[in-house]
């Protein structure tokens, strides 16, 4: 009988022992005679119960006082020794279909450095609220440009060869946002990566409109990471215009977050928050925002409600009639 494949699983956590327990249980639930997990948990929180939860599942616990997800993950990554390395956030769970399909693809393609799986966004009860993604893969397998054009592979669906992961080193602790994206880009830049159309992880979504500061800060780090990697590989784009297009696609998700927030908040008469959302959207993509505001659209209606409330319902009636 063959020895089981060993996967080091990196879990960063901070003051969420209840969801951490769900996460670790979902890891152990996949194990079998062919597969075993080295669970490595890095903690930068203050909850004493966290260490006990890790012990329940036979994990190795590490502690740091440095703030930020990369610092917590790095404590765990320093100990990774498996043939493969995988990740899971402390508020997400793996599905039963995770890991084995990725290993099978890596076995069949020795030149692949890693494999990405699909992600399912859920509510807090782990009920799906969006279709699984991504649904397709670039025909030319150019995942590097796809990532720099707005694809953020959720780290919980990532399986990396252990030697590649260790060669990449630790995550950049100065990047409080998107440090995992930066780390993934390091190996994707120089290696091929595969994809399995299998839902690997269920990711709990935060309630809409509840994390403006986080999104605004993440956009700053996304911009920094894009510039960091793009400046080293400019020859991979066909033109400077193509670079600019990739950049705006990389921050597109943040733009739509604030544009949608502006619409919702204006309709609920939360004008102060709507103004802040408009300002954040403008900073992210002023051209798109201005274009949307000057044409009949939901954003124009929201803009009038927010900045021209005296126009009242007459302006809205004009927009609804297509004027």
Other beta carbons less than 10 A from residue 174's beta carbon: 11
> Is the sign of the CA dihedral 260, 263, 269, 272 positive or negative?
positive
Question: What per-residue confidence (pLDDT) applies to 323?
Answer: 42
pLDDT tens digit sequence for 244-292: 999 999 999 999 999 999 999 998 989 999 999 999 999 999 999 999 9
Question: What per-residue confidence (pLDDT) applies to 138?
Answer: 85
Q: How far apart are CA 142 and CA 22, in angstroms?
A: 35
Q: All domains of the chain, ordered by start, with CATH?
A: 5-204 (3.90.550.10), 212-320 (no CATH)
Model confidence band, residue 308 (pLDDT cutoffs 50, 70, 90)? confident
Q: How far apart are CA 201 and CA 98, in angstroms?
A: 7
Answer whether 284's CB lies under 8 Å from 255's CB.
yes
Q: How far apart are CA 102 and CA 160, in angstroms?
A: 9
Judged against a pLDDT cut of 80, whether residue 228 lies above it is answered with yes
Judged against a pLDDT cut of 90, whether residue 65 lies above it is answered with yes
Q: How far apart are CA 110 and CA 314, in angstroms?
A: 65
Judged against a pLDDT cut of 90, whether residue 69 lies above it is answered with yes
Q: List the 112-122 sheet strands across, edge first.
A: 60-63, 35-43, 5-13, 84-87, 158-161, 112-122, 192-204, 93-94
Judged against a pLDDT cut of 70, whether residue 37 lies above it is answered with yes
Q: How far apart are CA 26 and CA 29, in angstroms?
A: 5
Q: How far apart are CA 81 and CA 38, in angstroms?
A: 8
Q: How far apart are CA 255 and CA 285, in angstroms?
A: 7
| Residue range 105-129: mean pLDDT, rounded | 96
φ, ψ for residue 92, nearest 5 deg: -115, 170
Question: What per-residue confidence (pLDDT) applies to 320?
Answer: 52
| Residue range 96-114: mean pLDDT, rounded | 97
Exposure of 280 in the CB half-sphere (CA atoms within 13 A) = 29
Question: What per-residue confidence (pLDDT) applies to 298?
Answer: 92
With a CB cutoff of 8 Å and minimum separation 6, the contacts of 95 are: 26, 120, 199, 200, 201, 202
Answer whether 279's CB lies under 8 Å from 271's CB.
no
Strand blocks (E) in 31-182: 35-43, 60-63, 84-87, 93-94, 112-122, 158-161
pLDDT tens digit sequence for 163-190: 999 999 999 999 999 999 999 999 999 9
Q: How far apart are CA 189 and CA 225, in angstroms?
A: 13
Judged against a pLDDT cut of 50, whether residue 2 lies above it is answered with yes
Question: What per-residue confidence (pLDDT) applies to 208?
Answer: 64
Question: What per-residue confidence (pLDDT) applies to 226?
Answer: 97
Model confidence band, residue 235 (pLDDT cutoffs 50, 70, 90)? very high
**∠ CA(199), CA(183), CA(257), 5° rounding?**
65
pTM of the model: 0.91
Question: What per-residue confidence (pLDDT) applies to 1?
Answer: 67
Between 311 and 49, residue with greater pLDDT: 49
φ, ψ for residue 263, nearest 5 deg: -65, -50
User: In the predicted model, what is the mean pLDDT of the chain?
Assistant: 92
Region of poorest pLDDT, from 75-84, 123-132, 202-211: 202-211
What is the share, in percent, of the chain residues with pLDDT greater than 90? 86
Question: What per-residue confidence (pLDDT) applies to 154?
Answer: 93
Judged against a pLDDT cut of 90, whether residue 67 lies above it is answered with yes
**DSSP code, position 287:** H
Q: How far apart are CA 212 and CA 217, in angstroms?
A: 9
What is the share, in percent, of the chain residues with pLDDT greater than 70? 94
Q: How far apart are CA 155 and CA 105, in angstroms?
A: 18
Model confidence band, residue 92 (pLDDT cutoffs 50, 70, 90)? very high
**∠ CA(195), CA(137), CA(106), 5° rounding?**
20
Strand blocks (E) in the chain: 5-13, 35-43, 60-63, 84-87, 93-94, 112-122, 158-161, 192-204
């Amino acid at each position: 009988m063959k020895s089981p494949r060993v996967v080091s699983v990196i879990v960063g956590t901070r003051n969420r022992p209840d969801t951490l327990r769900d996460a670790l249980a979902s890891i152990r639930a996949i194990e079998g005679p062919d597969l075993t997990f080295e669970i490595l948990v890095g903690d930068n929180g203050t909850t004493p119960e966290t260490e006990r939860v890790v012990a329940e599942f036979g994990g190795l616990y590490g502690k740091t006082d440095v703030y930020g997800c990369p610092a917590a993950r790095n404590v765990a990554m320093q100990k990774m020794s498996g043939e493969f390395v995988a990740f899971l956030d402390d508020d997400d769970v793996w599905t039963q279909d995770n890991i084995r399909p990725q290993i099978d693809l890596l076995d069949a393609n020795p030149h692949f450095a890693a494999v990405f799986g699909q992600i399912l966004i859920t509510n807090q009860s782990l009920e799906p609220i969006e279709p699984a993604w991504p649904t397709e893969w670039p025909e030319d397998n150019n995942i590097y440009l796809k990532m720099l054009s707005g694809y953020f592979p959720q780290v919980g669906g990532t399986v990396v060869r252990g030697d590649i992961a260790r060669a990449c080193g630790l995550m950049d602790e100065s990047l409080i946002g998107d440090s995992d994206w930066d780390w993934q880009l390091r190996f994707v830049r120089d290696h091929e990566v595969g994809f399995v159309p299998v839902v690997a992880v269920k990711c709990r979504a935060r309630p809409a409109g509840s994390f403006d500061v986080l999104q605004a800060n993440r956009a700053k780090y996304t911009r920094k990471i894009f510039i960091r990697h793009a400046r080293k590989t400019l020859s991979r784009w066909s033109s400077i215009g193509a670079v600019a297009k990739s950049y705006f696609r990389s921050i597109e998700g943040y733009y739509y977050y604030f544009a949608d927030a502006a619409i919702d908040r204006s309709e609920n008469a939360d004008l102060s928050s709507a103004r802040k959302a408009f300002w954040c959207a403008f900073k992210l993509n002023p051209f798109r925002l201005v274009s949307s505001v000057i044409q009949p659209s939901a954003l124009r209606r929201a803009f009038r409600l927010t900045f021209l409330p005296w126009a009242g319902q007459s302006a809205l009636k004009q927009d609804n009639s297509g004027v």
